A and B are shown apart, each in its own frame.
Chain A
Amino acid sequence: QSVLTQPPSASGTPGQRVTISCSGSSSNIGSKTVYWHQHVPGTAPKLLIYSNNQRPSGVPDRFSGSKSGTSASLAISGLQSADEAVYYCATWDDSLNGVVFGGGTKLTVL
């Protein structure tokens, strides 16, 4: 049972916009920044979004992040087949004194 709650799956057709949610509490998302990582099985995970809504260089602006209260969201617009991956939110938890990840959302491009 992950501290951060994500839907286990999401899907969309090429060109569509999809949103993945991440729900936490006041001890984590409510007081800390949120990171999003993309993981294609068998490869190294990759940072997509840091500090709630910042994109590292090289990440397309099709990817965007937001945070409100104790929840955060990752939006992917102009969906592409290459976006098929598992997406994880992550932050710090003051109660656990450690990093916490969401359970991951597997994105399928139909």
Chain B
Amino acid sequence: EVQLLESGGGLVRPGESLRLSCGASGFIFEAYAMSWVRQAPGKGLEWVSSISSDGFSTIFADSVKGRFTISRSTNTIYLQMNRLRGEDTAVYYCAKEEGSESSHSIHYWGQGTLVTVSS
């Protein structure tokens, strides 16, 4: 059974940094691309970033480009969030894609972790 478990969310002040983690199990982690998707309060889903199965290819939404980075290690992906803004407040979901390259082929989702950016 595919399981994705996010952690690292919390309350931070504008301008600060935070690193999210997503532990994965139940599948061959090295074979699949992974993504982060967020949902701001009262809003819909917004794709944030994706990383290929080998970790060499990463892509970002324009709203986070230059501030966020994505990486992966053994059975875990990370989202490093720098220079956080109020509009980054959201539940962040980790997601597993169906192929090795980043695309829109999300097949599994985690439960999410809440990030609140407020002074």
Provide the A69-110 mask, 1 if CB < 8 A to any CB of B, else 0.
000000000000000001010111000111111111000000
Q: Given A44-B93, A104-B45, decide whether A98 and B112 contact each other with a Cβ distance below 8 A.
A: no
B-side contacts of A90, CB under 8 Å: 45, 47, 104, 106
A46–B104 touching, CB < 8 Å:
no
Please pick, from B46, B50, B61, B106, the residue contacting A35 in the complex, using a CB distance under 8 A. Answer: B106
Per the CB 8 Å criterion, the residue count for chain B at the interface is: 23
Are A44 and B112 in contact, with the CB atoms below 8 A? yes
Known: A44-B110, A45-B93, A90-B106. A50 touches B45 (CB 8 A): no
Contact in complex: A44, B111 (CB < 8 Å): yes
Are the C-beta atoms of B61 and A101 separated by less than 8 Å?
Answer: no
The yes or no answer to B26 lying at the interface (CB within 8 A) is no
Interface residues of A (CB under 8 A from B): 2, 32-33, 35, 37, 39, 43-47, 50, 56, 86, 88, 90-92, 96-104
- Closest CB pairs A-B (n = 10): A99-B47, A104-B44, A92-B104, A44-B109, A45-B109, A99-B104, A101-B45, A44-B111, A103-B44, A47-B107
